[in-house]
Amino acid sequence: MAQTSKTVSGYLVFGIVTALVFVGCIALQTSIAEWLFERVFQRSVLYADVLPGKWIIMNRIVTADDPGETRRAEREDVFRKIKNREYYRDDAGMNELAGKLDLLNRSRERQDTVYFINPTIAFFPIYLAVSFLVAFAVSLFLSGGGSLGIIRASLLRTYERMEFMLRKQCESHQLAFDPLTRLSPEERERAILNSTLPEVTVNEMADFLMVREWLARRRLNPLIPLKFYFRYRLSDAYGNLIQGLVAGGAAILIFVIGLRGIKFIPAEEPSLILMGLSLEFVLLVVLMFTFAGSAQEERLDRVVKELEAQQREAIQKQTETLHEIFENMREESERAGDGESFAAYEERRLLDSVISVVLHGKRGKDGGER
């Protein structure tokens, strides 16, 4: 019951952090977007205070002559009508739609570009991914075990399971585990390679000892637990799931782009298209980190390959040993039989053995009769 309570509290902390970061992303999205348009996308301008919850993105007017001033005045006039509900006073939705159409018509006459974006919908996958990432980091580096950090508790379980596996593996190969961990990296690698342990144990032992030092606070590099968790937990347990999610995100993106192709989604309102792109971007980044953090090959595959190599080497040694034995027997037969064939020598030895057994039995029988 206590363990269940700790797990629930850990998930509760994770959910609270995720929700707070998600709300913070929505609250700061306009400020961040204005900063980006001011310094990165300088050919466009963002209007975030005209439509509630939506952005209007248009090309920036940089001329100071009369045509530029005229276009700027036309924009301000449309914005004023939208805010004051001069198109439809009693219907906010119709007023917003009429303002959009008016702005589009005037922009087309001036060959200006205009986009209406709902940022919460367009960048929802990115906000959610950032929220999960921050909650993951907090839950990993927050002390208190499962009561506060479920990711840290999962890391500890993975660490303990790996210690049990390595200890048992070393004992089965007649190699002491604790003295092995106290050796230097070069000495430990040499000891493992000289034993019957698989070569993959060298990297696993190094990763295990680095996490042990991080847990003991002798190393403070935050990449150590991340690498260990991605390699021995996420990659092993959720690798196929992540690849499936990437394929699902690609399917959603194709569907959304198809809706745009049949004009169901207007070109001036690309929020759903941006959401599909954001989702696929996030999933591909997760897949990238999963592949980057995982081992080059699955552990079982590498162990099997090493066992096959050892088996081929053992078979080759046995073949060479048998060949030497037969050569020695042939040489002995030639010396003993003055050049007689190996087959004749073996036949004579077999006959001598049979005669010896018969005579031995005969002697035993005669002794019994006496």
The predicted-structure confidence for 154-201, as pLDDT tens digits, reads as follows: 889 999 998 988 888 888 777 888 888 888 989 998 888 888 777 778
Tokens of 38: 């001011």
Res 326 pLDDT > 80:
no
Confidence of residue 314 (pLDDT cuts 50, 70, 90): low
53-63: b (≥16 Cβ within 10 Å) or e: ebbbbbeebee
Confidence of residue 1 (pLDDT cuts 50, 70, 90): very low
pLDDT of residue 145: 47
Whether the CB-CB separation of 15 and 136 falls below 8 Å is answered with no
Amino acid at position 167, single letter: R
| 189: number of Cβ within 10 Å | 17
Element containing residue 268 per DSSP (H, E): none
pLDDT digits (tens, 9 = 90+) for 209-225: 999 999 888 888 888 88
What's the mean per-residue pLDDT of the chain?
80
Q: Is 94 or 201 the better-scoring residue by pLDDT? A: 94
Res 239 pLDDT > 80:
no
Q: 365 φ, ψ to 5°?
A: -70, -45
pLDDT of residue 160: 92
Q: Is 324 or 278 the better-scoring residue by pLDDT? A: 278
pLDDT of residue 125: 94
Q: Is 210 or 112 the better-scoring residue by pLDDT? A: 210
pLDDT of residue 295: 58
Whole-angstrom distance, CA of residue 135 vs CA of residue 20:
9
What's the rounded mean pLDDT across residues 273-301?
78
Res 245 pLDDT > 80:
yes
pLDDT of residue 143: 62
Q: Which of 119, 3, 10, 1 is nearest to 57 (CA)?
A: 119
Res 303 pLDDT > 70:
no
pLDDT digits (tens, 9 = 90+) for 3-35: 555 567 778 888 999 999 999 999 999 999 999
Confidence of residue 358 (pLDDT cuts 50, 70, 90): low
Confidence of residue 281 (pLDDT cuts 50, 70, 90): very high
Whole-angstrom distance, CA of residue 198 vs CA of residue 63:
71
Whether the CB-CB separation of 225 and 140 falls below 8 Å is answered with yes
pLDDT of residue 140: 86
pLDDT of residue 367: 53
Res 138 pLDDT > 60:
yes
- The partner residues of 59 in beta bridges, in order of sequence, read 44
Most confident of 86-90, 128-132, 181-185: 128-132
pLDDT of residue 39: 87
Mean pLDDT lowest among 238-247, 264-273, 283-292, 358-367: 358-367
pLDDT of residue 279: 92
Res 302 pLDDT > 60:
no
What's the rounded mean pLDDT across residues 144-150?
60
Reported residue count of the chain is 370
Confidence of residue 301 (pLDDT cuts 50, 70, 90): low
